[in-house]
Amino acid sequence: MLLSRALLVAGCALPLLAAPATAQEGGQEFTPSNEELDRDLDESLAEEYSEPEAPSEAAKEDHRDCCGHDGHHHDEGPDDDDGHDRLRLRFGGLAAYAWTNLGNLELSHREGNSGGGVIELAQEEDDDFEFDNGAGMYRAWIGIGRYVSLQGGWFHGRFGDTNALSNATNGTPGFTFGSTRFNTGDIVEINQELRVADFDVVVHPLTLKWIRLDFSLGARYAYWATRIERLNRGYTKEEDRIEGLIPMVGFGITVSPVAPLSFFLRGKVGTIEYEREGGYYRRNNGQRRYVEPKEREHTSAELDAGMTFTIANTFGFIVGARLQYIELERVVPDRSSRVEGYASSLYAGVLLNF
């Protein structure tokens, strides 16, 4: 430090010392003042040791416009070494209204030795019942860095129709559901309620500016309730509910040809089968309990395709088509329930990222 200061002083002093000789040769004598020497020395030291100026706000905005709102390029390549992108959390959600139709519906419900036959409501031209209605569809997600996200979804719809039974229903004159027989000519109201909840851990192995691939692993909860009422010839009602938890795996692809628009295609499938042997007694907490045999088999699949239009990567709109297939079956000695069918939906809604 002392050597540097000495060199600076010498560098400033030499031109000033040479000035009197030059002035004397020209006939004029010049002697610099101490104030001028001190000022020149201070300016030289300030230039040597001053810190660089911070970039202006305008320069920062230009950098963000070039590289993205967070200051990092969002194209291909690994994250920065500091790991900020890998730890950054992003949140989002959507809400949509879905115009939904239940199709190829098969119902079966046995109480004791009554019922158990399959009721087919295929919704063909000559069927008695049509199950068209609206449903609510919601999704939420948490992005953890670039390559992982947690996603959850909820679908809920109620569907119903009333008509007089004819031979078109199941191709036979009437049907038995539970302990009640419904005959041709009965005015029957059938109501369906479908609830589907999903939770998935999603990995994005490829995430570029214009394309992204998704692999998901999660679970689906499906609930299906049926209520059949006879409105004439003596009112009667039969109800049945069945639910199940199904492991799911999925794949998806999203393509973004231009900044506001994205097109997506997603699918997932899952199945589970459970059987418990029974017909014997065992002790539990000091009490003798009967173990009932039980069988469960659940299957579900989903295909979802659509388009999003997002403004400033924050607020946007979504439209799409979704097809869900659900089969739930439960069998115990004195009761059995089974439902199989699909729900096809056209939906539109809004989404939000932050």
More confident residue, 226 or 278: 226
Query: Which residues touch 212 (CB under 8 Å, ≥6 apart)?
Result: 204, 206, 253, 254
Q: Is the pLDDT of residue 2 over 90?
A: no
**Averaged pLDDT, 185-213:** 94
Domains of the chain: 2-50 (no CATH), 88-353 (2.40.128.100)
- Between residues 241 and 53, which one has the greater pLDDT? 241
Q: Return the residue matching tokens 């692809």.
A: 253
Instruction: Calculate the CA dihedral of residues 164, 170, 171, 174 and round it to 10 degrees.
Output: -50
Q: What sign results for the dihedral spanned by CA atoms 18, 24, 25, 27? A: positive
Encode pLDDT of 65-74 as tens digits. 333 333 333 4
The number of CA neighbours under 13 Å toward the Cβ of 307 is: 6
Give the pLDDT score at 277: 76
Cα separation of the two ends of the chain:
51
How remote is the C-alpha of 22 from its chain's centroid?
A: 82
Question: pLDDT, tens digit, for every residue of 24-40?
Answer: 444 455 555 666 666 76
Residue 211, pLDDT above cutoff 50: yes
Query: pTM for this structure?
Result: 0.72
- All residues at 6 or more sequence positions from 143 whose CB lies less than 8 Å from its CB, including other chains: 89, 90, 91, 92, 149
Per-residue pLDDT reduced to its tens digit, 124-150: 544 567 788 889 999 999 999 889 999
60-106, pLDDT tens digit by residue? 444 433 333 333 334 444 444 444 555 789 999 999 999 999 988 99
* In the block, residue with structure tokens 């297939």: 325
**What is the C-alpha radius of gyration for the chain, rounded to an integer number of angstroms?**
37
Q: What is the pLDDT of residues 226-245, one digit of tens each?
A: 999 999 888 999 999 999 99
Task: DSSP for 147-185, please give it.
Answer: TEEEEEEEEEEEEEEEEE--TTGGGSS-EEETTEEE-TT
Q: Which two tokens stand for residue 226?
A: 């049926």
β partners of residue 182 = 175
pLDDT of 195 higher than 70: yes
Report the C-alpha gap between 181 and 234 in whole angstroms.
Answer: 12
- Region class of 101: left (phi > 0), else alpha (psi between -120 and 50), else beta: beta
More confidently predicted of 293 and 299: 299
